[in-house]
Structure 1
Amino acid sequence: MNDVQTGRTQAEVILGGERTSGLGMEHDRSAEYGDEPQRCEPERGAALRTCAERESALAAWLLTAAEDRERARQEWDGHDVALLRCGGAFAAVRVPTTVVEAAARTNDRRMMGEYLDEALLGGAAFIDESFCRVYFLVPPSECDRWNVAGSTCLGPDTFLGVPYPGVEHHGRAYWLAEMDGPGALCTPDVVKQLVLNGRHRLTSLTCSLA
């Protein structure tokens, strides 16, 4: 599973389809990835630095949810996905990919990303292609209130494999919509409406084919 609802030390963790364990050496991810192609596709060197700095700031904020930041950096380096704890900096609403595709009216990942960029108003969502799920990052206070059929809110004691900011649309897990800035989470009511719209559209499509 991409999300593990148990203690980190007792869990068999799967990141991007591969098992990982143990601690690694401290590594400066922002320095290594400064010259890689970025999602924002800057044209000038100054823009590239700005984009790299933005992703570094997002990564630093996400690392506040890591049980061990050093290990999380190594996981990002080796798998582009790090195991982070839900319920502190953020919670995550897990939704089947088919529901999000229905809401966006497309299964094209870039078009889905464009839809979510607009719909989420600066909030963030990533997809796990291995398990056909989309995760929306929401405020941790939502854990106790979330009650939307066809979705689950992951809170305390749940570890979630989260991709490094700026990962392109490839691999098993990547961002469909990135945060506008550190701590910019999805508005829960927006995610709720998206899920309801997607489920309604799926039901309508099923009935029309019956």
Structure 2
Amino acid sequence: MDERARVTQWLEMAHPVPRQAVSEWANHGVALLPLGKRFDAIRVPARRIHAALGSDAPETVNAALLEWLHGPVIRDVRTGSGLYYVLIAPDAQWQGPEERLSKDTHQDTYLAVPRLGLRASPVTYWAVEPERPGQLCDPARLAALLSTAETLKATES
């Protein structure tokens, strides 16, 4: 089994019915996966990421996110300038102002996760694909990246 297949299998196992995730990827290009089992997500407005990186060019941003975060990031452009979802471990600490999405005490929280490989959705896609099963971002690295946006904003004032 190649690495992409292993990552896909790892992702599909986040779903309570893994075959349903496979079906959703095949039919829609994205699968709704519950958070809190394999990973959580930090929802970051695109303007914050773009300000920190000094660019909104997708190739530049994606390469910089890979270099900074060393883990998977989903891009969603359905609303306004869009959002980035930085995938982190469910037990990882996050103290930033950006919203952390995880399993709620009363109900599951789901994230639209694109299939790996060929981009199937024009609105939800991988900015940075996971390279191996279990690979997630370190929230401390995200905090460091976002702090550069605050520093730049302060120096421009």
Measure, in 1, the Cα distance between the counterparts of 2:64 and 2:89.
Answer: 21
Contact persistence 2:4–2:131 (CA under 8 A):
no
2:85 to 125, 135, 153: 135
Structure 2 length normalisation: TM-score? 0.86
Query: Mapping of 1:190-201 within 5 angstroms?
Result: 190-201=141-152
Greater Rg by CA? 1
Distance 1:124 1:62, change over 3 A: same
Shift in Å at residue 168 of structure 1? 3.7
Please name the residue that 1:174 is paired with: 125
**Structure 1: runs of 5+ lacking an equivalent:** 1-49
1: distance between equivalents of 2:39 and 2:121?
A: 24
Change (3 A) 1:82 1:199: farther
| Aligned residues: CA RMSD | 2.0
1: CA distance, partners of 2:155 / 2:33: 37
Give the count of matched residue pairs: 151
1:35-54 matches, cutoff 5 A: 53-54=2-3
Q: Which amino acid aligns with 1:101?
A: H
2:48 alignment partner, one of 92, 95, 99: 99
Q: Using structure 1 for the length normalisation, give the TM-score.
A: 0.66
Structure of greater relative contact order (alpha carbons < 8 Å, 6+ residues apart): 2
Runs of 4+ in structure 1 off by over 4 angstroms are 202-205
Residues 170, 67 of structure 1: CA spacing in aligned structure 2 closer, same or farther, 3 A cutoff?
closer
Structure 2 residues without counterparts, runs of 5 or longer:
none
> What pairs up with 1:112-151 in 2 under 5 angstroms?
112-121=61-70, 123-131=71-79, 132-142=82-92, 145-149=93-97, 151=98
More moved, 181-190 vs 63-72 = 63-72
Q: Does the CA contact (< 8 Å) of 2:3 and 2:131 recur in 1?
A: no
Tell me which residue corresponds to 1:154: 101
Counterparts in 2 of 1:203 and 1:63: CA distance versus 1, 3 Å: farther
